[in-house]
Amino acid sequence: MTRFAKTLSVFLALALVALGLAACGGSQAPISTGSSNPGGAATPAAGTEKGIIIRMEPETGTLDPAGNSSTTYWNYSAYALAPLVELASDGSYDFIIAESCDINEDNTVFTFHFREGAAWSDGSPCTPADYINTMQRALDPACGSGYSDFLFKIKNGKAIYEGSADISTLGVEAPDDKTLVITLEEPCQYFLDLLFLPVFYPSHAELATETNGDWCFDPARSVANGPFYLAEYVPEQYILLKKNPYYVQKDRISLDYIKLLAIADTQSAISAYKTGEVDLTGADYTVLAEYEGKGDLVVLPGMTTYYTLLNWDREPLSNPLVREALSLAIDRDAIAASAGKGSYEPTSFFVAKYMTSKLTGQGKKWGEEVDPLVTLNIERAQQLLAEAGFPNGEGFPELSFKYPAMEVEAAIAQSLQAQWKQNLGIMVSLESQEYQVNISDRRAGDFDICRMRWTADYADPTTFLSMYTGSASYNDSGVASAKYEELLALSERESDPAKRFQILHDAEKALVAEDFAFIPTLAGIGVTLRNPKIGNIVINPSRNSPFYKYATLAD
Amino acid sequence: MLKTIIKRILIGVATMFVLITVTFFLVRLMPGSPFEAENVSTQMIASLEKEYGLDQPLFNQYVLYLEKVLHGDLGISYKKNISVVALIARGMPATMQIGLLAFLMAAVVGIGLGIWQASTKSGFIRGLLVSYATLGVSLPGFVTALLLIVVFGAWLQALPVVGLTSPKHYILPVIAQAFGPIATISRLVKSTYSEAMQMDYVTMARAKGLSKWQISLKHILKNAILPVITYFGPAIAFLLTGSFVVESLFSIPGIGKEFVSAISNRDYTLVLGLSIFIGGVIIIANLLVDILCAIVDPRIKFND
């Protein structure tokens, strides 16, 4: 070996190691330069502090309510940011930062009166300007928020977003530091229900000026007006939140800290629950048998409806008789059984069946108030199919059913395929697609039959029912139901809640059980594992998901 | 030799260019948009795409992107809203720590098992090692990882399964990541080592009365190691660029996990940025290994 080769070989061996070691040294230090927030940052643990560790899905998006807020934001804001008003478990309004709200007669002007002492975690007062700050920034299309269109309800909101009006014309004003007046474009009965959406949350008017900026992850600049403040943020690993001494309703808070731990995989999260590394985690049906009857298990019906789109622009689905036949020929219990009992429930409603309804004023659920919209009737289905010109399915073209490659979607599709074949004698070919491909085919209207799923954005049936008007951007299957659209328009003019909910029930019936626009099949159920020592878990009716900010921890 | 190295580097640069070009157009061929999600309306998607310049002609976007890359700017991740360079810098330490430890473990244990398998006289041990080697090669990574989590985490409660906060946290992910490569390396070593054992110079060494260890390491292994080093190139590249399975199951904040989610999110800039980074690591690792081989075995010449 030459001298050169020897030197080189030493160098190379070192280089190989360096290639690996290069970045190893400076492992990620938590970002905690904070002096703006009280107490700076320290790891929890140490004796007397009471706290819980909650699993969260790994990071996506920013913590800025005006930005491209996503899963991480929802996890964070539930503890760190406080809305003006939120829904309590029983469906009533729980005033948080606002202490009251005056609403004018036709539901177009909402005047919020702020609580005395509302403050941010750095001690500065929380004022209407902080709420206006988020709204104004979220009306810049560059903000990347998926919720900007909810601001279109506010006067000039849409015009500002589209660039045809100046931001100063937005229908929000603060006559003084304790009053926020919001003027709407049109009457909206459920406006208060929308206030838990990110765009209606506050961001500090002086500190949070750069949309999607780094400030939101920096404990020094990312202040909180909610029960907990950001003490430590370690990207992709955890978020540590500590009790905010300046929170205006701090008497309601019992925990000293909450740690949100990022775990991507559900099975890993379940294992982490078993090892005691997390106290709370979303799980799935696989744990139901193991924890049956134990205090660990929290089962809550979700606000998600799974349904199957039929393309009205394609033969023979354009024929209402065919759609009705397809709808009547299926047994929803069988679909739920194949998708995993305990994780899914059959439903014939489009609106989430567990949404709190205002029809009776008794806090009943949407699906409890009226009879199921569609029930299994094979004989009638066969008759309808014959009327449509396909006796026993003869001459019926083979349709394709597109769905994303996900367990539950495959179960629904396979179950429908089998039932239609058995009950009606028609063939449907299954086309499993990658998730994004499926969305883009659906958006383009390129399908015969396609899976769809919708989760309530807010606690009013219109979060579902506004989707299938002729002009709605989600109407991918060419639905054109005149009666439904008429009723929906009527509901907007009705100010009596009971009457309005009756109209909405009728509108849903027209859509699903008269025009058979699509086929609702399953309702999702949320399964959570929680450390039995944790008490006072509050259910947020907006999403029917558990809230842990008021949680207590037994010794 | 220097000339050849320079030539190889130039080929590497050309490879990078082809990689960037192909990846750029391939990701755009995928249907879907980075802004599509369940509850986002079509109008909203269109306005976001305009904002990020995704409505421009594709070729213009490509030229613009190349220009940026030359300035070391890999753009901003659409989903995470932070620069791709920062994201890679953030994910790299965890991925590299696990990767390097797994590589060292695979090399040491793999070579050890290979030698043991070649030299043992016990049929039982040989059978055991052969079955491990077969299992390690054929068992998918996620099965190994889940088994480790369930057995050592959930059942025995002996080791933590989330993140990398203490040295203990490294044990399971490193084993999970090294499990396959150990098997491959041990098989390679076993076959080359048993071949080398038959050589005359080994008999000669024995006749000279050298110790077992001296013969094994100095005489046999030195000659048997070449194919193993060749395998090190892809292996180290594979281990250092992260494993989606290990990273997502053990909740490790690395780049392997990032890569897969970037693809399903259609996060174009992040997919491209990670491809460039991982491509770079693979090219460099292979180059280093090639040169190392030439040094270990002087018969390998760099004259093409």
Give this complex's ipTM: 0.76
Percent of the residues in chain A that have a pLDDT greater than 90, as a whole number: 61
Token output for B46: 């269109």
Q: Is the CB of residue A515 less than 8 Å away from at least one CB of chain B?
A: no
pLDDT tens digits, A398-449: 999 999 998 889 999 999 999 999 999 999 999 999 888 898 889 889 999 9
Chain B contacts of A22, Cβ < 8 Å?
92, 96
Nearest-by-CA chain A residue for B31:
A437
pLDDT 10s digits, A109-149: 999 999 999 999 999 999 999 999 999 999 988 887 878 88
Whether pLDDT at A85 is above 90: yes
What is Dmax (Cα atoms) for chain B? 83
pLDDT, residue B39, reads 58
Mean pLDDT value across residues B40-63: 79
Contact present, B135 and B295 (Cβ < 8 Å): no
> A404: part of which helix (H) or strand (E)?
strand A399-404
Contact A19 B89 (CB under 8 A): no
The whole-number pLDDT of residue A26 equals 40
Residue B156: CB atoms within 10 A of its CB come to 10
Query: Exposure string (b/e) for B38-64, b if CB count within 10 Å is 16 or more?
Result: eebeeebbbbbbeebebeeeeeebbee
Please list every residue in chain B whose beta carbon sits closer than 8 Å to the beta carbon of residue A265: 248-249, 251
Residue ranges of chain A that CATH labels 3.90.76.10: 85-200
pLDDT band at residue A34, thresholds of 50, 70 and 90?
very low
A268/B250 touch (CB, cutoff 8 Å), yes or no: yes
Contact state of B79 with A272 under an 8 Å Cβ cutoff: no
Binary contact (B38, A212; C-beta < 8 A): no
For residues A3-25, give the mean pLDDT.
Answer: 49
Give the separation between CA B259 and CA B76, rounded to whole angstroms: 15
Mean pLDDT of A16-40: 45
Q: What is the per-residue pLDDT across A203-228, written as a single tens digit (0 to 9) for each?
A: 999 999 888 888 888 998 999 999 99
Is residue A28 less than 8 Å (CB to CB) from chain B? Answer: yes
* pLDDT average, residue stretch B163-180: 90
DSSP of B94-138: HHHHHHHHHHHHHHHHHHHHHHHHHH---HHHHHHHHHHHHHHHH
468-487 in chain A: CB under 8 A from chain B: 473-474
**Closest to B295 (Cβ–Cβ): which among A8, A60, A236?**
A8
Q: For A85-200, which CATH class?
A: alpha beta
Q: Boundaries of CATH 3.40.190.10 in chain A? A: 10-80+215-283+527-553
DSSP A206: T
Task: Name the amino acid, one letter, at A61.
Answer: G
Phi and psi dihedrals of A491, rounded to 5? -60, -30
Q: What share of chain A is helix, strand, coil (3-state, %, to 5)?
A: 35, 25, 45
Which residues of chain B make contact with A458, given a CB cutoff of 8 A? none
The per-residue pLDDT for range A382-392, each reduced to its tens digit, is: 999 999 999 99
**Burial (CB count within 10 angstroms: exposed 0-12, middle 13-18, buried 19+), residue A281:** buried
CB A141 within 8 A of CB B47: yes
Tell me what pLDDT residue A22 has: 44
- Across the interface, whether the CB atoms of A441 and B295 are under 8 A apart is answered no
Q: From chain B, pick out residues whose CB is under 8 angstroms from the CB of A214.
A: 82
CB A328 within 8 A of CB A514: no
Residue B211, φ and ψ in degrees, nearest 5 = -70, 160
The pair of structure tokens assigned to B96 is 């590299």
Answer whether B264 sits within 8 Å of A4, measured CB to CB: no
Confirm if A454 and A464 have CB atoms less than 8 A apart.
yes
Highest mean pLDDT among A377-381, B39-43, B140-144, B282-286: A377-381
Predicted confidence (pLDDT) per residue in A147-204, tens digit: 888 999 999 999 999 889 999 999 999 999 999 999 999 999 899 999 989 999 999 9
pLDDT tens column, B5-30: 888 889 888 999 999 999 999 988 88
What's the gap in Å between the CA of B101 and the closest CA on chain A?
9
pLDDT digits (tens, 9 = 90+) for B111-166: 999 989 888 888 898 898 888 888 888 888 888 899 999 899 888 888 888 888 88
Q: How far apart are CA A348 and CA B226, in angstroms?
A: 67
- Let me know if domain A10-80+215-283+527-553 sits in CATH 3.40.190.10: yes
| pLDDT for position A39 | 46
CA atoms within 13 A on the CB side of A11: 9
Nearest CA in chain B to A476: B42
Taking CA–CA distances from A274, the nearest residue in chain B reads B154
CA gap A281, A284 in Å, rounded: 10
pLDDT score for A286: 84
Q: Crossing angle of helices A407-424/A320-328, nearest 10°?
A: 110
Q: Which amino acid is at A60?
A: T
More confident residue, A360 or A350: A350
The number of CA neighbours under 13 Å toward the Cβ of A193 is 22
Given B42, B50, B89, which is nearest A443 (Cβ)?
B42
The answer as to CATH 3.10.105.10 being correct for domain A304-524 is yes
Residue A404 to residue A254: CA distance in whole angstroms: 43
